[in-house]
A = this chain, B = another copy of it.
Amino acid sequence: MGSVFGNLLKISIFGESHGDGIGVVIDGFPSGIAFDETFILSEMKRRAPSSHVGSTPRKEPDLPRILSGVKDRYTTGAPICAVIENTNTRSEDYAPFSETPRPGHADFTASIRYNGYQDARGGGHFSGRLTAPLTFAGALCKLALKEKGVEICAHILQIGALYDNTFPLAPTQSLFSSLREKSLPVINDAVGADMTAYLEEIRANKDSVGGMIECIATGLPAGVGSPMFDTVESRIASILYAIPAVRGVSFGAGFDVASMLGSVANDAFYCENNSVKTVTNHHGGVLGGITTGMPILLRCAFKPTPSIAKEQNTVNLKTGENTILEIQGRHDVCIACRAVPVVESAVAISLLDQMLEAFGYENFR
């Protein structure tokens, strides 16, 4: 109960931020998928701390060691286990938090849920570091999806009051490539420069800020997903809410639908080259929980990093008294920045799992 996700494709993530190691077991992955190590490491690097102002200055090399499931550079069909050793941990930074929990963090709830036995160092199993194995698993799933023509890409859509452009109706490969290479992945570079300046300011103020990510998945066939509870949205939202700091998930026009008229929100169908498409994509690629063949489009809101250097009010769980907390350490100014490949990974894992299910039924057609 907890860190296992999926139905046919199951991933089991383990590890605590300052323990010996973190990693993932990927069960039910198809055999015969080429294990492109270069691609996987480049994906891991996109998530790792960088020199960008939004990121923590911690160094996490995050080199996964593959223990099983890959032979001669192809997946074998057996569970794939990847382990990332923990290095460069400074546990003393985190010592007091099991006693004086950080506002906005899981310190308090972990101590209730695990009765004080949790590994509180570095956030333990609640650490954003656990998104490294998620990204590894996502990279592998992207390789399998690519064989079926599916591509997944995300970018920063919002930080504070600054907004990037949204994805066009039919994004190009070159847009995807350029986004993957940017240290701050935005479509509009002028906005990116503004965001960077804004983040510098936040850091100077010893504060943090939230952000929003937009993600697209292209190339999916129509017909994936099932009503009522295994809708594409249910399955994707379920795994996105595993990413620490996510507070909102929406599809297509998202929360804007609350003020839209049906005559505007409805996406008109039309035929092109024997294929049914929609003129607009307010539905975000899913109707009735099932893919339409249009790109899946979703948004995901991240709260500000809870760990900030400013003084904050909290309680001492041992004495039951109110107290003041001042947090040391090296934290991200805006976690949304590094979460871009993590969101893509979560979507990839979920979609591959659902495609495997859908394929099972195709055989009966």
Contacts and interface: CB of A to CB of B under 8 A. Distances in A.
A230 to B, nearest CB: 5
A68 B117 contact: no
A349 to B, nearest CB: 10
Contact of A28 (B2, B30, B106, B266): B2
Contacts of A242: 227-229, 231, 234, 289
Contacts of A276: 108, 315, 317
Nearest to A1: B28
Contact of A2 (B13, B27, B209): B27
Interface string A61-92: 00001111101001111111101000000000
A230 B108 CA distance: 18
Contacts of A225: 109, 113
A345 interface: no
Looking at chain A's contact residues, the main secondary structure is mixed
Interface in A5-41: 5, 7-10, 12-16, 19-23, 25, 27-28, 30-33
B306 A258 contact: no
A150 interface: no
Q: How many copies does the complex hold?
A: 4
A46 to B, nearest CB: 20
Nearest to A79: B14
Interface residues of A, number: 162
B250 A113 contact: no
Contact of A237 (B106, B227, B237, B282): B237
A360 interface: yes
B79 A287 contact: no
Interface in A329-365: 336, 355-365
Interface in A113-137: 113-119, 124-126, 130, 134
A217 interface: no
Interface stretch (A156-164, A172-180, A185-193): A156-164
8 contacts: A7-B8, A125-B227, A126-B289, A237-B241, A255-B299, A260-B303, A359-B361, A359-B363
Given A208-B263, A263-B310, 18 more contacts: A1-B7, A1-B8, A1-B230, A4-B10, A20-B65, A21-B81, A31-B113, A68-B125, A77-B113, A78-B114, A79-B125, A211-B258, A247-B252, A247-B253, A262-B310, A263-B308, A276-B317, A359-B360
